[in-house]
Structure formats: C-alpha cells, structure tokens
Copies of this chain bind each other. A is one copy, B any other.
Amino acid sequence: MESGSTRVIRVFVAGLGAVGRRFVGLMASQETLLAGRYGLRLVLVGAADSSGAAIASEGLDPLRVVAMKEARQGVSGYPGAGRPGMPLRQALAASPAELLIEATPTNLRDAQPGLDCIRAALARGIPVVTASKGPLVLAYRELVALAEQSGVRLAFSGAVAGGLPTVNLGRRDLAGSTILRVEGVFNSTTNYILTSMAEAGASFAEALAEAQRRGIAEADPSLDVDGLDAAAKLVIVANSVLGRPTVLGDVEIEGIRNITLEQVAAARREGRALKLLALAEREGEDYRLSVRPVALEAEHPLARLRPWEMGVRYVTDTMGVIYAAIDEPDPLPTAAAVLRDVIDVCGRR
C-alpha cells in the first residue's frame, strides 16, 4: 500500500553486468526499507544490456530481470516490454525515466556508450548516478557543468573503490580543510594478487589465474594489472575531491605486471607490504599524481589490507589524518553504493 508520503522514482538502469543486476536486485530486496526509512519507491521503467532494452512505464519486475540475467538471457527478451537491438540512448529517451543508473562496462578509450547516455540524460534534466568510471575520467568537467546547467545531480560515490565512500569522505567530511596527501589502494584485483604472492607464496601468474578463476579479474585483466583502473579512480578523486582538473595522462602509472615473487618476499623480510598505491601529493598549489607499487611499512594502515579490502588515507591540515577501508568480497557493496546515491539524490524523508 502506497502511503501518501511515499515518493515514486522512475529509474532506468543502463548496464546489467555485475553491478547493474545487483542494483536491480536491491530494488526488490530493499523495497520495504526504502519505503519505510526513506519514503521512496523505485520503479524500474527501463533496463538495457548488450541485447537491447526493455521498457515498461508501469515498471519491470526487478526479480524477473535479475533471473533473466542469471540465466544469461538478454533483457530485450522481457515479455511484452522487450526492444531487441534498441540503442541505449534511444531506449532511455523512449522511457519515462526520472533517474538514470549508469552501470555499463567502462572503457577508458572513449567511455561509450555510457558517456553519451549520461550526456543525454543530464541535457534532458534527468539526474544520474553512475558506477561507471570511463565517463568521469574522460569528461568530468563537461559532465559536472552539464549537470549544473540542468540543475540536476550527478552522483558517483560507487565509482571510486566500490562501497568505500572515498569521494564522500573527501568532499563532505574534509570540507573546510586542505588535503595534503591522498593514499589509496583502490583496486581489489591487484590487492588480491599481491596479498596472495606475499602470504601464500604464489607466483604472479598463479595468483592472477586464481583471481580470474574467482571472477574478480576480467578475462583481460590489463586495466587492473597495469594500474589503469587505480589511475582512473585517482583521476576521479583529483577532479572531485581535490578540485584539480585532471586527465589520465596527468598520472604517472606503473602497474604490477613486472612484480616478482622475490620482490614481494624481499619487502616482507623488511617488514613491509607491497601494495599498488594511488598517490596524490601536494606540491605547492598543485598535486603530483601517481600509481605505482610501493613497499609500505608494516604500521601503515594500508599495508594490512586483506585480499578483498580497499582503503584510502587522507592527510589534512586541520582534520588530522583520516583512514577508511572496506571489506568487499563481491560486487554487492558497489551496487549498494549506487543505491545510497539514489537515496541521496532523491532526498530522504
């Protein structure tokens, strides 16, 4: 029963991969909580994947969409609502969406189709919550300006280390202070690999194969292994938290591809832990940005991260040093981060 104080939000979910489908699942599992605690009712009026889209103004059944995806069916097969082959932007335009969830597979080459989809939504005055990094890395300032012009929100707390509220911490909890240094372990695949090498004595190849077997690493793990994923997240932090207009090329990147078991063991003998560290160091009025393997001393909080953890450390002038970490062994917290942004964008009761 819909109470008079419940606000209905018509949502379009672009991308039904690991994060997108879990977000759709949360729309069902958290339905009672959303209504009771926040006075919100989310209606899935459209969803899109590589097969096309499904559009239904009365709402698709989230559980049905999740079941189809788990059965490896394209959402365009949804009975009575399917639009096989319909391009993403067209599907969004054809739906009565009031909020776009952007969770299409990210790429750092052209960030499509997510980038055009976000542009179209913002231009039409539709707020956007994105877990997808590519659009933010390639076009941060343009998208923020578009959102401002339309007077709508662009939220992306799930884009920098899953459920870890890196951006929220930096922008809101450190407001009024100056950030002197940001240190992050933002990529869980490489953290898993380096931790396995250090603790189980696995070779790089063995650890990577295990990460792929577990579904953490992609079939093509180069974004993770070559430090590009971590660098992409650092670019987003630099733009949104440090207020520094930043592109990927501003980051000195060295991945873990050439790390040997002997290097890891040597660090360990010195009481250190090798981590792929994303780093922003203040230099005058600017920041120097890098991603590279660093042998952290044992007492450094990031040195102790477990395989499925990610963390960030902010050194400030007036707010002391703040550290946060998340243990997230699967993509659900990233989907939950998308949901927290939805609640934030739509307003809480």
Give residues in A with beta carbon < 8 Å to B.
26, 29-30, 33-34, 37-38, 157, 162-165, 168-169, 172-178, 243, 301, 304, 316, 318-329, 332-333, 335-337, 339-340, 342-344, 348
A321 touches B332 (CB 8 A): no
Chain B residues with Cβ below 8 Å from A33 are 176, 178
> Which of the listed residues A164, A174, A301, A336 has the most CB atoms from chain B within 10 Å of its own CB?
A336
Bound-state CA distance A38–B169 (Å) is 17
A168 touches B172 (CB 8 A): yes
B243 touches A172 (CB 8 A): no
18 contacts between A and B (CB under 8 A): A26-B318, A30-B176, A30-B318, A37-B243, A162-B320, A165-B322, A168-B172, A172-B340, A175-B348, A176-B342, A316-B336, A318-B332, A318-B333, A319-B337, A319-B340, A321-B327, A323-B325, A323-B326
Bound-state CA distance A30–B174 (Å) is 13
- Identify the closest chain B residue to A333 (Cβ): B320
Contact of A175 among B164, B323, B332, B340 (CB under 8 A): B340
Chain B residues with Cβ below 8 Å from A176 are 26, 30, 33-34, 38, 336, 339-340, 342-343
Which 10 A-B pairs have CB atoms at the shortest separation, nearest pair first? A165-B173, A320-B328, A176-B339, A318-B336, A324-B324, A320-B333, A321-B327, A175-B340, A175-B343, A319-B336
Chain B residues with Cβ below 8 Å from A327 are 320-321, 323
Bound-state CA distance A337–B177 (Å) is 9
Bound-state CA distance A30–B327 (Å) is 35
Bound-state CA distance A168–B344 (Å) is 12
Bound-state CA distance A342–B61 (Å) is 42
Contact of A344 among B162, B164, B172, B325 (CB under 8 A): B172
Beyond A169-B165, A323-B325, A324-B323, whether A38 also contacts B318 by CB under 8 A is: no
A164 touches B322 (CB 8 A): yes
> Chain B's nearest CB lies how many Å from the CB of A91?
26
Beyond A26-B176, A173-B340, A340-B174, whether A322 also contacts B324 by CB under 8 A is: yes
- Identify the closest chain B residue to A26 (Cβ): B318
B169 touches A344 (CB 8 A): no
